[in-house]
Amino acid sequence: MDSYDAPQLTPRQSASSRPENYFIGATPLQKRLESVRKQTPFVLTPPRRKIPQCSQLQEDVDPQKVAFLLHKQWTLYSLTPLYKFSYTHLKEYSRLLSAFIVSEKQKGLAVEVGEDFNIKILSKSQLPSENREGKVLWTGWFCCIFGDSLLETVSEDFTCLPLFLANGAESNTAIIGTWFQKTFDCYFSPLAINAFNLSWMAAMWTACKMDHYMATTEFLWSVPCSPQSLDISYAIHPEDAKALWDSVHKTPGEVTQEEVDLFMDCLYSHFHRHFKIHLSATRLVRVSTSVASAHTDGRIKILCHKYLIGVLAYLTELAIFQIE
Amino acid sequence: MSPQKRVKNSQAQNNTSQGSNSRQTKLSAWKVKRDPSDSKHISKHGQNSPMEDYEHVDDQAEDALQIAVGYFEKGPIKTSQNKDKTLERHLKTVEDVACKNGLAPEGIDILLNAALSGKFGNAVNTRLLKCMIPATLISEDSVVKAVSWLCVGKCSGSIKVLFYRWLVAMFDFIDHKEQIKLLYGFFFASLEDDALCPYVCHFLYLLTKKENVKPFRVRKLLQLQAKMGMQPHLQALLSLYKFFAPALISVSLPVKKKIYFKNSENLWKMALLAVRQRNQGPSPEPLKLMLDPANVRPLKRKWNSHSVIPVLNSNSYTKQCGKKEISLSDCLSNTGSFPLEQLQSFPQLLQNIHCLELPSQMGSVLNNSLLLHYINCVRDESILLRLYYWLSQTLQEECIWYKVNNYDHGKEFANFLDTIIMAECFLQEGFYSCEAFLYKSIPLWDGLCCRSQFLQLVSWIPFSSFSEVKPLLLDNLAQLFFTSTIYFKCSVLHSLKELLQNWLLWLSMDIRRPMMNSPLETTLDGSMNSLSKLIDYVGWLSTIAMRLEGNSTFLLHFILDFYEKVCDIYINYDLPLVVLFPPGVFYPALLSLDTTILNQLCYIMHRYRKNLSAAKKNELQQKAKPQFSFSSKTYQEFNRYLIAMVGCLWTSRPFEKGIYIDPEILEKAGIAEYKSSLNLVHHPSLLSYTVSFLLQGKKWNWYLNYLFSEGLQGLKLFIRSNIHRSSIPPIKERIPQQY
């Protein structure tokens, strides 16, 4: 892109979307645009990724603290950077948000914003006599793990938390999301996971070393036919899946696109041999492993504490791709 | 050899079922062994498994096939002792190649001939016929030749049956069927053969056209039916005949029956699948990444209230902080601000521009022209970024062709795009979010949905390097362009004209700035390069479109509109650029049957002349900037066009240079005396003017004035600027003689 630096002599005062006229060097917006132009629309994923490892970061995290993240179904959203968000004002946000929720719902609800920025809604008991803790109705949390590519192009006014996970009634998500959109001028979009990325998840999660397997590896394919769609479920003993993966896997510590394709092709051809159904012609909608399970409509359940960071890093990547 | 390479090999091979099988077998033998039916595959590929020199192996197979085909062509050599062995070896070679890649038309021709000529035994013939699998197509001649063998009684009944079954199976792969259709009578006569009858029926069922249905054939079929009883294959043919000629057949036939023929093609079923896949070619892979019905969870419109664009609201957050006056208000920098709700007029905006309170959601500015003014002159990058994020996401979320089954919101999306386009027109500038959206979404666009909006967005793409825009947008657009209707082509050309205009305006604004220590000079060169590439690209599109649409006048109007912009760049926009149109546009316009086209062409040529003269003049006056001088090629090209035009219209000596037309061709076309037939009097597009002029009985030297008075302004300008008339106008002398 051409950039001209002649601020004083500009004949017209400004341009709506041409910040480079006024700033020497690349501004965040400009960097962002360059990345858009350079990126051909479909080259969305790197051809190789690391196999999730049990990282140092992971070990530092108190298992108690992350326990509430596990074994729960989370609905995924991508989120554009928050404008003028400040970590020092969490208490104030909590107050404003609960006021907003009250005005929206006219109900007795309490909002608790945790230190690490998750929100819980507690139902306040209408009965004054008891002093017990309210039941958690809704939980949501913001997350950004290894989102460096996005952070590079975000200026200091913005806070980048591209992944949002919610558990609870969608009406609550809607109210809270609306408040965030109004307050920080951000935008929530549901984060769907397409079959391509589900295959990646299947491969990466199968590749994880497990001490003991908690669940079978299961795939769900959907055949679009009317009036009702046909679902094909395909369960494999996790050790068999791992054995298959090991036979396909060549590069230590990494997963490549070829390996993912090969892994899925093996499953397809095995299935075809027995049932004469070409699964490759159907649509992969769900993948469950002992590490986590993910559904194409953007719901995820993380089962294994050890690989939490790895799973979230991949989801962050998907969220960043969606907002780029 | 690395495992990745192997995979690539097998992928590159083809997409056939064999391809995927070979992929699977190279994996661990995981669970494969149990299945006996597959062990064959494994062992078969086991032979090939030294994949190191895969291509080499392929070459060898090719040679072996040639030898084998040669062998079958010559026929068995009687004296050879190990005749059986050689035969077996060659037969095996043919079978292997046929199964794997199919046979070329020439190979099929020879082998079919061999199989039906009776040179070999029945068993060999059967095997040969079974492996007549085409690589792509079968030539019609081979089939006709083969049919001719059926008449000489060299092949047995079973071979004939197999041949007909093969014919039915391969029907779709025969390249032409004209000659085969001529043999209809022969095939029909073969119905007499009881063994052949079902297969011939099936073949005729595929072959029959309305003209084949004749009363004597109907009689014959009914006769056969009477003889053999209600046979499904006869019924099929009869019902087809009845479909074509209901009057000829009065017998009632079962209506509902669907399956008339036993699946006689099942011998080749797998092979056919492979051929079809080969013929279709590999499907483009990457699309499947995004074509997934990703938005299965259509986002709750409830979230964002009723409309897509947020309601204009001053910072709700500040309001709620209200009187508490906490430190938060500092971070929002809104001390003593002017509330948005009170902003009603432009003077108000001017007075309070320094302390205007910003909306809580930047997207709301789209509906407010005063705020659009504001963001047009604001220097705060974060405002633009907020708008960018919001607009990018909203476009992505609302875009209806991302959603598989959700076309309900079509109207709403179109309205949203209209709002954006209005804002862009207001600002005279495109949003970068829209540019990114276009790049992302055009590969999925069907060319129909929100067409007008989409193409308008194209014309607002901010100026950027052509080499960047081309692969992301124009190449995709070109695919739609070539495959769509003429109206689509015209709309695309129109929006590209607008794009050019916007880029020109943008650049001409930039260039008027005094050049300080900026790298503008090199940049200007680059910008001009981008512009000229865009114009060349449109020239290329136009040339092909003209051929596709048979030199349509309608299309030509849009093309010339584009060049009307192009020819005036130097003078109107003060940019050092003159690009001429390609011959594929110039000549059809010159020879067009439409007066307005000729008139427009004259105007464009006139303007080109003006621009080029101005450029030349500037160049002579100030030699300071030699990098802006045009190459002499442009002048030469222009002169060539000019000579052609003047030669055509005025001096009646068209195309003396450059184009050579063989006199024989002209003679054949009956226009040996073509020279004067393109001048102002005889030019097909002006002929009606000549006639009506003659009817008015005026003097010849008034003819030009008559044309000018009819509104041909372009022609007038062209003649005035390019033709020096001597005191006696040449037209006066020549034209009456010709009449």
How many C-beta atoms surround the C-beta of residue B732 within 10 A? 15
**Mean pLDDT within B645-665:** 76
Mean pLDDT, range B244-254, rounded to an integer:
75
pLDDT of residue A112: 61
Tokens read off for A178: 């609306």
Which candidate from A14, A44, A194 shows the least CB-CB separation from B378?
A14
CB count, 10 Å around CB of B174?
Answer: 16
Q: Tell me, yes or no, if B286 comes closer than 8 A to chain A by beta carbon.
A: yes
Return the residue of A nearest to B21 by Cα.
A269
Contact A68, A139 (CB under 8 A): yes
Residues 100-129 of A with CB under 8 A from B: 100
Percent of chain A with pLDDT over 70: 70
Residues of A in contact with B505 (CB under 8 A): none
Rounded percentage of chain B residues whose pLDDT exceeds 70: 73
CA B496, B498, B501, B507 torsion: positive or negative?
A: negative
> Backbone phi, then psi, for B445, in 5-degree steps?
-75, 140
* Mean pLDDT, rounded, for A16-33: 45
Q: Could A266 and B30 be called an inter-chain contact, meaning their C-beta atoms sit closer than 8 Å?
A: yes
Q: Please state whether the peptide bond connecting residue B471 to the residue before it is cis, i.e. omega within 30 degrees of 0.
A: no
| Candidate from A112-116, A222-226, B6-10, B543-547 with smallest mean pLDDT | B6-10
Which range is least confidently modeled, B54-63, B447-456, B615-624? Answer: B54-63
Element (H, E) at B521: helix B520-548
**How much is the average pLDDT of B693-710?**
81
pLDDT value at B304 more than 60: no
Contact criterion met (CB < 8 Å) for B30 and A10: no
- Is B296 in contact with A155 (Cβ distance < 8 A)? no
Q: In this complex, which of B295, B430, B516 lies closest to A192 when CB atoms are compared?
A: B295
The conformation of residue B297, written as its DSSP 8-state character, comes to S
DSSP of B63-109: HHHHHHHHHHHH---SS-TTHHHHHHHHHHHHHHHHHHT-B-HHHHH
Please report the residues numbered 218 through 247 in chain A whose beta carbons come closer than 8 angstroms to any beta carbon of chain B: 243-244, 247
> What's the mean pLDDT in B692-710?
81
| Nearest chain A alpha carbon to B298 | A190
- CA distances to B669, B672, B736 from B663, in Å: 10, 7, 26
Q: Distance, in angstroms, between A211 CA and closest chain B CA?
A: 23
- Asked if pLDDT for residue A8 goes beyond 50, the answer is no
| Lowest-pLDDT choice from B218-222, B456-460, B533-537 | B218-222
Q: Which residues of A touch B28 (CB under 8 A)?
A: 243-244, 247-248
Among candidates A83, A283, A298 on the partner chain, residue whose Cβ is nearest the Cβ of B382: A83
* Interface subset of A 185-224, CB within 8 angstroms of B: 185-190, 192, 194-196
B4 vs B127, more confident? B127
The shortest CB-CB distance from A1 to any of B30, B289, B464 is to B464
Distance CA B562, CA B570 (A): 15
Which long-range CB contacts under 8 A does A298-302 form with residues at least 24 apart? A298/A75, A298/A76, A298/A77, A298/A190, A298/A191, A298/A192, A298/A193, A298/B297, A299/A73, A299/A74, A299/A75, A299/A76, A300/A73, A300/A74, A300/A76, A300/A165, A301/A71, A301/A72, A301/A73, A301/A74, A302/A69, A302/A70, A302/A71, A302/A74
pLDDT at A281 over 60: yes
- Is the model's pLDDT at A47 over the cut of 90? no
The token duo for B230 is 């209600």
Q: What's the whole-number average pLDDT of chain B?
A: 76
Closest-CA distance of chain A to residue B292, Å: 6
Instruction: Provide, as residue numbers in chain B, all residues whose Cβ is less than 8 Å from the Cβ of A247.
Output: 27-28, 30
Contacts of B379 in chain A (CB under 8 A): 14, 22
| B738 has pLDDT over 70 | no
What mean pLDDT is predicted for residues B482-509?
Answer: 93
Span A257-270, average pLDDT: 92
**CB-based contact, A71 to chain B, within 8 Å:** no
Residues of chain B contacting residue A269, judged by C-beta atoms under 8 Å apart: 20-21, 23-24
Q: Do B429 and A9 touch (CB under 8 A)?
A: no
Band of pLDDT at residue B474, cut at 50, 70 and 90: very high
Structure letter (DSSP) for residue B614: H
Residues of A whose CB is below 8 A from B514: 6, 9
- pLDDT (mean) for B93-104: 84
Which 424-453 residues of chain B touch chain A by CB within 8 A?
427, 429-432, 435-436, 439-440, 443
Contact between B431 and A189 using a beta-carbon 8 Å cutoff: no
| Top-ranked range on mean pLDDT: pick from B55-69, B483-497, B691-705 | B483-497
Give residue B6's pLDDT band: very low, low, confident or very high (50, 70, 90): very low
- Asked whether the beta carbons of A61 and B371 are under 8 A apart, the reply is no
Residue among A174, A190, A261 minimizing CB distance to B302: A174
Q: Which residue has the higher pLDDT, A38 or B242?
A: B242
pLDDT at B154 over 90: no
Confidence band for B321, pLDDT divided at 50, 70 and 90:
very low
Q: What percent of chain A has pLDDT over 90?
A: 26
Query: How far lies B647's CA from each of B603, B639, B669, B679, in Å?
Result: 17, 12, 21, 8
Q: What is the ipTM score, two decimals?
A: 0.79
Residue B251 DSSP class: S
Scanning B148-187 for CB atoms below 8 A from A yields none
Structure confidence at residue A176 as a pLDDT band (50, 70, 90): confident
Q: Which among B432, B417, B460 has a CA at the least distance from the CA of A17?
A: B432
Could you read off the pLDDT of B17-28 as tens digits, one per residue? 343 343 333 333
Chain B stretch 485-524, residues whose beta carbon is closer than 8 A to a beta carbon of chain A: 509-510, 512-514, 516, 518, 520, 523
Residue with tokens 């019905």: B293
Out of A88-97, B53-62, B487-496, B635-644, the most confident range is: B487-496
Q: Do A2 and B372 touch (CB under 8 A)?
A: no
Model confidence pTM above 0.80: no
Closest residue in A to B30 (Cα) is A244
| B429·A157 Cβ contact <8 A | no
* Distances, alpha carbon B323 to alpha carbons B326, B327, B359, in Å: 8, 12, 19
Which of A23, A37, A296 comes nearest B472 by C-beta?
Answer: A37
**CB contact A276 to B (< 8 Å):** no
Confidence (pLDDT) at B42: 38
**A79-103 tens-digit pLDDT:** 998 888 888 888 888 888 888 887 7
Share of chain B above pLDDT 90, in %: 18
In chain A, which residue's Cα lies nearest the Cα of B436? A36
